Amino acid sequence: MTAESALTAEVVEPTGADGVGPWHAAWRRLRRNPAGIVGAVLVLLFVLVALLAPVLAPYRPATAQWFGQVTPTSVPGPSADHPLGLDSFGSDLLTQLLYGARTSLVIGVVSTAVGLAVGALLGVLAGGFGGKVDTVVMRVVDVLLSIPSLLLAVSVAAVLQRGSLAIMLAVAAAQVPIFARLLRASLLAQRGQDYVVALRSLGLRQRRIVVGHMLPNSLGPVLVQATLTLATAVIEVAALSFLGLGDPNPAVAEWGRMLVTAQSRLDQAPQLALYPGLAIAITALGFTLLGEALREALDPRSSR
């Protein structure tokens, strides 16, 4: 084994005093965290509901299927054919909720992945190489951070045409500066480590050191932030749909638009706003609990 390969093995998979790697130790701490378990269960249920929506939903998502049963003064409640009743457009409410979970999952995951990819690229350029690149990138990031995330998302969605793609890009744009700044800080903390100095003394190029060694050891906080950002993404997707920037097709189920249509019927059928509101809150709570548990597992010093 060469000196370089020995250093690589030590950097990629270091072990603690008990001979256990950091990721394995983090997994053990995560399993013992009750809040993390609850969050993982909520997230798993959300993902399963979203993936199995066509199987679990009693009907296909469509509008005005039973519009004749909806009157200006009443909306049918739970029945044998419709467990949660109908919505204002005469669609099955349970079907809309289940397919709304699929819409939130797809948009949330895609927007977070895009924001993470672009933000990670900017963070690597700034924190890994420094110099003028760092100065230029961080000034752009500072400008983006000066704008509230929801306001930035609304601005991007307003410029683009209404639809799921516009919401994905809008939410992703609001997440880019967060990931960029976080990864830059993690890389800067790695630049002074002994293994980085040793790798430079071996003559490795800066690009290889950053991509092959510093970046893998800096991804922990970024992955934690990605989990927490999913909770924010679900809320922002609902908010943009609530503001009328979502998919214009009424047959596409969205929790935010369900809240909008429920406003005129709150006195007659409060469940039209209660169910999608609970779905948004529980989903965001699951990702938040899981993200906080991951943060404590990867950095035991943050645990109380």
Strand partners, 74: 71
Q: What is the mean pLDDT of residues 10-37?
A: 65
Cα torsion 150, 151, 153, 154: sign:
positive
pLDDT (tens digit per residue) in 202-230: 777 777 777 777 777 777 788 888 888 88
Say how many C-beta atoms besides its own lie within 10 A of residue 231's C-beta.
22
Tell me the pLDDT band of 3, cut-offs 50, 70 and 90.
Answer: very low
Which pLDDT belongs to residue 10?
A: 43
In whole angstroms, give the CA distance from residue 63 to residue 53.
Answer: 17
Per-residue pLDDT reduced to its tens digit, 184-200: 888 888 777 777 778 77
pLDDT at 282: 92
Tokens of 173: 């744009």
- Residue 46: pLDDT band (50, 70, 90) is very high
- Which residue in 182, 89, 181 sits closest to 141, CA to CA? 181
Type of residue numbered 261: T
Q: What is the pLDDT of residues 92-109, one digit of tens each?
A: 888 889 998 888 888 888
Contact present, 200 and 228 (Cβ < 8 Å): no
Paired with 92 in beta bridges are 86
Instruction: Round to whole Å and give the CA distance between 71 and 194.
Output: 73
pLDDT for residue 118 = 92
SS3 277: helix
**Burial of 171 (C-beta count, 10 Å sphere; 0-12/13-18/19+):** buried
**Mean pLDDT, residues 68-87:** 79
Which residues, 6+ apart, have CB-to-CB distance to 101 below 8 Å? Answer: 46, 49, 50, 53, 255, 279, 283
In CATH, the architecture of 109-303 is Orthogonal Bundle (1.10)
How far, in whole angstroms, is CA 142 from its chain's centroid?
Answer: 22
